[in-house]
Structure 1
């Protein structure tokens, strides 16, 4: 529609210059038409660059995700890996369902930011907030709809809610963890065996508590690696 309006302004300006005899009226109409033409161009640029005539609309999707670790493991594992030259953003690795045989890798891009937060409970949720540009009114959509930018993506913001029954670690830490947890002396082996028996007994009556205790132990080992 805005293109048609520009064409009308241009045609009327040409018509005024060619047809109107009275100079003052001709100049006045020509100036008004050119002003309208310039205003239309400015509006198009503002729409394309600053989303003039648009507002932001945010939708939120919350979905449970599942441990990237073995199914028999009592605590959950969320893997993350820094990406990019500055390493400020992470790719996250998890399973999308309890029966999934392969992990899902969620990679960031220039319009995606992500973070982890600690929460109570025993489940991990991936919360995706999607913000898009939409036209404020049908009139704006009619004017600028030719740009095909309605519902244009502004950004994604992803939050991983991680309880204390889970451990977030890098793939390198996960790879090194079995060796770190393997007892080296006979006393350590005996202590480990007793601890495993206690955790197994606790898991039958309070699986969340058992998972939390084992997750604490793993976090302690990971912190000692730093």
Structure 2
């Protein structure tokens, strides 16, 4: 809607400047001011989400070991130089595949607690009122993601290790099992 108002105000400004008449100068100034305000409104909406507010949705999940129930682990896969991590988690034991955190505008935190839980806080931009929705809906910013925060709360007996370290552990365990089998056979 704001684009329509902008186009109409610009056309009126041109019309009142080209066609001479009594009171056209005042109308030209008003249409120039409306055009300028529309441009400022579009820029403010695009850069600062003017006319929008944030809403946060919090979802809590129980957390189970990323490996096996007997081995309490939270796995991660390092990205790039290792400062960023993709955490891999399960919310129940019957889950076959590990879930990965979403990486778009994400932050993660690991706290210690008695019970393993995962809290996901998703903050999105929504229109603050109907006027803003009518004016700016053409830009499609409603429900735009601002931030997603993963808060892992794990007990002190849990370990947070990388998938590479987990593969090394599995290899060492297989070698030990084979060594035990050979020792039992002799």
- Per the alignment, do residues 9 and 162 of structure 1 end up closer, same or farther by CA in structure 2, a change over 3 Å counting? same
Query: 1:146 is matched with which residue?
Result: 138
Number of the residue aligned with 1:114: 108
* 1:107 Cα deviation after fit: 5.0
Residue in 2 that maps onto 1:91: 86
Question: Who is 2:123 aligned against?
Answer: 131
Deviation at 1:66, TM superposition (A): 1.8
Question: What is the number of residues matched between the two proteins?
Answer: 173
1:80 corresponds to 2:76: yes
Superposed CA offset, 1:1-22 (max 9, x none): 1112112212322332344423
- Please identify runs of 4+ aligned residues in structure 1 that moved more than 6 A: none
Alignment pair present for 1:11 and 2:3: no
Larger radius of gyration: 1
Residue ranges of structure 1 left out of the alignment (5+ in a row): 183-226
- Alignment partner for residue 96 of structure 2, among 93, 97, 101? 101
Q: Could you tell me which residue of structure 1 aligns to residue 148 of structure 2?
A: 156
Q: Which residue of 1 aligns with 2:184?
A: none
> Which deviations, in whole Å up to 9, do the C-alpha atoms of 1:128-181 show, x marking residues without a partner?
11111111111111111111111111111111111124222222333344649x
Gaps of 5+ in 2: 177-186
48, 60, 65: which one pairs with 1:67? Answer: 65
* Partners of 1:176 and 1:4 in 2: CA distance: 62
Deviates more, 1:97-106 or 1:132-141: 97-106
Looking at structure 1, the residues matched to 149 and 68 of structure 2 have their Cα atoms a distance apart, in angstroms, of: 28
Q: Higher relative contact order at CA 8 Å, sep ≥6: structure 1 or structure 2?
A: 2
Tell whether the 8 Å contact from 1:43 to 1:52 is kept in structure 2 after alignment: yes
When the two chains are superposed, the root-mean-square deviation of aligned CA atoms in Å is 2.1
Deviation at 1:103, TM superposition (A): 2.4
